[in-house]
Structure 1
Amino acid sequence: MSLEAVLRAISPHFVNLSERILAYGPQGKLLLRNLEEHWFAHCVTMPRHNVFPCDSIADTLQLLRSNSLDDQLPFALATLAAMSKSAWNESLARVSSHRIVKVNVIVDASESKSLLHKKQRERKVWWRKLAQCPSRFVLAEARKARNLDVTEIEAQFPFGNITVETITYYPGIRKLYPQTEGSKDNAADVHMIEHVASLDWGCLALLCDSHMLDKSTSAYIHPKLSPYKTTFQIEKQQNETDVEDLNRFVLYLNNTLRAKGISTILTNTEQIVEMCLIPFVVSVNRTSLKNGIVHVKNRSTTLKEAVHISDLVKYITLRSS
C-alpha cells in the first residue's frame, strides 16, 4: 500500500498532499492542534527541569542570565509553532515546509551523554504511546550531520519510513552564550541536547498508523488526539417515533461534556463516526431517562460499559488521557 493510497483512505477530511504542502481538512486541523497541545504538556509543562518558551535561543539565554534564572542545570528552551523549510522525508513526498516544535536542553557537560540517551528513549516512548502499533516507531541509527551526532525517530511502513523527530547532541555551545569575562569558562562546561518534532509529519505518521492495522478494516487513533471524543446514539424501541425527550437528554449530556472541555459531535450516521475516528459512542434509551444509566462503547475494544451520567465526564476524561 503506497502513501498515496493511504492518504486516499484517510480522506481529505483529515489531510491530503497538495502542491507540496500537507493540507488539512476540518478533522485534521483538530488533530494537529491536539498533537501540539499534548506535546506542550509533556515537553514544556511536565518536565522536572525548568522550560522557558522562546523565539531566539541567544536572546533568551541573555535574558535568563541577566536575571540569574540559568543557574540551575539542566534547563530548557522551547520554540513553538515554528515553520521549517529543511527537507524531511524527501523520498516519500516533497513538502516545501512543515510545522515543528523544538526543545533545547542546556545541561552540565558531565551529565550530557546520560541525558542524551534518556531523551532518546523518552521521545521514542512518547510516540509509541500514541500509536496503535507502538513497535512501528523506532530509533534510527545515529548519523553525523555538520559534525554533530543526530538520531532520528522513524515510523516504519511498507511504503517507507516517516521521520517524525530528530535528536541532536551539541557538545559545545559557547557561541550561544553571552560572552562576558565571568561566563566564558562556564559556557565551556555546558552542552546542549535538541529534539525537534514535526507536527505535520507526526500527524501523517499517526494517521497512516491508524489506517494500517493488521486484520482490520476500521481505523482508530489515540483518544487523546481524536478530533472528537464522543458522539451519541439513541436506542429506539420498536415502532417508536416520538423521541423528543431523548433528543433533549442527548443535548443535555452533550452540553455537559463540552462545558468540561470534552469535544463532541452530534451525528446520526455510523459513517460519520468512522470517518471522524470517534473513540466513544454513548447510547441512551428510555431506561436512561429513569435511572440515569447510559452505555459507553469503546470503538477500539468494542466493549460497552454502563455508566451513570454523573460519572460520564470522569469516565471519558480518564480514558482520553
Structure 2
Amino acid sequence: MNRIQRCFKSLSSAGFIRILDDHQLELFSHGIAYSKLLQQQWLNLRPLAAHLGSTHKSSSDSNPHRFAFTRSPQFLTNFKKLLEDHPRKAKCPTLIKHQQSSCVLNDNSLFRVKSPGTVLTTDFLVEPYRALEHFYNMQRESKIWWMRLSSDPSRFSIVPCHLPDELDSKSYQAIDITSKYGEAGEVIVEKLSLVKMEDNEGFILPDARTGERVIPTVIRSTIDLETATIALLLDGCDHRRETQSLLLNRILAPYQCGIACLDEDSSLSDDLRDLCLHLTNVISQSGLRLCQGSDFELTKESSKLRSDYLTESDKLGVPYTLMLSNKTLKNGLLQLRSRDTMIAETIHISDVPDYLLNIFRKD
C-alpha cells in the first residue's frame, strides 16, 4: 500500500471520506463539514463580486470545451442577472460568482469523485485592452489563495494549457492550478480560462475608467468543490511525519478546539465537570468550533487521555486542545496543546477564548 492509499484509508477511518465499491470517493460527515467551510472561503474571496446563487447545469450547457462557456444559455442568463439585479456592478471590470450542480470530470490521476458535484464559478469581465494583465493577476491571486489553505504551499503550481491549433492565443488563454503529490500524481484544483468575445452586441458593458461601451473579455475560474476538498484533505494527510495528524488549515478545520480533562481526585469531579461545561459554553459563544461529541473528554487515566482522545483529535485535524486537571481548579492554569507541534503551553483560564481567537485571526 503506497502512502496515498494510506492517506485515503486514514481519511476514511476518521470519517472524512467514503471509499465506494467502484473505487470512487465520496465526502462523508467531517469531509462535508470541511467542504462547506471551503465553499464559504470561496464566497468570501473577492468580496466585491456579484453573487448570483446556485443553478443546476442543463443539457444545453453540456459542451465540454472549456472555452465554449460564453456561448452557453447559462452565461447569457448570468449576464442578464448582472444587469438587472446588480446594475451598479455592471461595468468593466466586474466579477460574477455562481454555483452549479454538475457532473464531476474526474480529470486527475489520483482519485475519482462521485457525481454530481458542485462547481464554483467566477467570471471576471474585464476591459479587452487589459485582459492579459488581469489574467496574470488572477493566476497569482488564485495560487496564493490555495497556498494559504495548504499545509505544504510548495505543492501548488501554475501549469499552462496547450491550445488547440484552431484557437488564436491572442483571444484564448488557459492555465490550471495543480496540487502535486510527488510521483503519485497531481490534482487540478482550479482552472482559469480567458476568452475574448468579439462582435457580440448582446454583451456590452461600460468601461469603469472611460465610460466607453465595450464587449468585455471574460476570465473564468472553475473549481470542482469535492475534488478540491479531497485534494486539500490529502495535502493535510500526506505530510511525511511519523504521526497520523491531519494538518488542516486552522480556519477550515471542522473542529478548531477540543477540551480534555484529567480527573485525578474524585472529590473534585463535579467541580471539574462544571468547569469544562463553562469552558464549552464560553468557547461556543466566541464562534470557535468545538470538537465533536460531548465537547469535552473527562478521564482518570493520563495514558488513555493521550493515546485515545488526543490521537483521535489529531486525526480529525483539531488544531488546539485545552488540557485541564484538578490543579486548574486551584490556580486557574491549563495547558494549550498544539496539534502541529504537539507542544503544550500554559495559559490562564481567564485568557480563554481571547487567546485562541487571536491565534485564528492571524490566518
Normalising TM by the smaller chain, what interval?
A: 0.7 to 0.9
Percent identity, aligned pairs only, is 19
Partner of 1:65: 83
Greater Cα offset, 111-120 or 145-154 = 145-154
Change (3 A) 1:28 1:176: farther
CA distance in 2, matches of 1:199, 1:176: 33
**Ranges in structure 1 where 5+ consecutive residues have no aligned partner:** none
Paired residues of 2:108 and 2:188 also in contact (CA < 8 A): no
Distance apart, 1:53 and its partner CA: 1.1
CA distance in 2, matches of 1:175, 1:3: 48
User: In the alignment, residue 26 of structure 1 is paired with which amino acid?
Assistant: S
- Within a 5 Å distance, the mapping from 1:1-321 to structure 2 comes to 1=2, 3-12=4-13, 13-18=15-20, 19=22, 22-43=25-46, 45=47, 50-54=48-52, 56-65=74-83, 68-80=87-99, 82-85=100-103, 87-95=105-113, 96-144=115-163, 147=167, 148-157=172-181, 158-172=183-197, 175=200, 177-178=202-203, 186-188=213-215, 190-219=216-245, 220-237=247-264, 240=266, 242-265=268-291, 266-268=295-297, 269-320=309-360, 321=363
Question: Aligned to 1:69, what secondary structure does the other structure show?
Answer: helix
User: In the alignment, residue 309 of structure 1 is paired with which amino acid?
Assistant: I
Greater Cα offset, 150-159 or 302-311 = 302-311
Change (3 A) 1:241 1:142: farther
Paired residues of 2:260 and 2:323 also in contact (CA < 8 A): yes
Q: CA RMSD in A?
A: 2.7
User: In the alignment, residue 140 of structure 2 is paired with which amino acid?
Assistant: R
With structure 2 as the length reference, what TM-score do the two structures score?
0.76
User: In the alignment, residue 137 of structure 1 is paired with which amino acid?
Assistant: F
Greater Cα offset, 116-125 or 69-78 = 69-78
Change (3 A) 1:65 1:37: closer
Distance apart, 1:286 and its partner CA: 3.2
Question: Aligned to 2:355, what secondary structure does the other structure show?
Answer: helix
Greater Cα offset, 88-97 or 194-203 = 88-97
CA distance in 1, matches of 2:326, 2:296: 19
Paired residues of 2:276 and 2:296 also in contact (CA < 8 A): no
Paired residues of 1:173 and 1:187 also in contact (CA < 8 A): no
The size of the alignment, in residue pairs, is 309
User: In the alignment, residue 28 of structure 2 is paired with which amino acid?
Assistant: G
With structure 1 as the length reference, what TM-score do the two structures score?
0.85
Question: Aligned to 1:143, what secondary structure does the other structure show?
Answer: coil
1:94-149 alpha-carbon deviations (Å, 9 max, x no partner)? 44433221110111112211111111111111111111111011111333268442
1:215-237 alpha-carbon deviations (Å, 9 max, x no partner)? 43332111111111111111344
CA distance in 2, matches of 1:318, 1:177: 49
User: In the alignment, residue 83 of structure 1 is paired with which amino acid?
Assistant: S
Paired residues of 1:58 and 1:176 also in contact (CA < 8 A): no
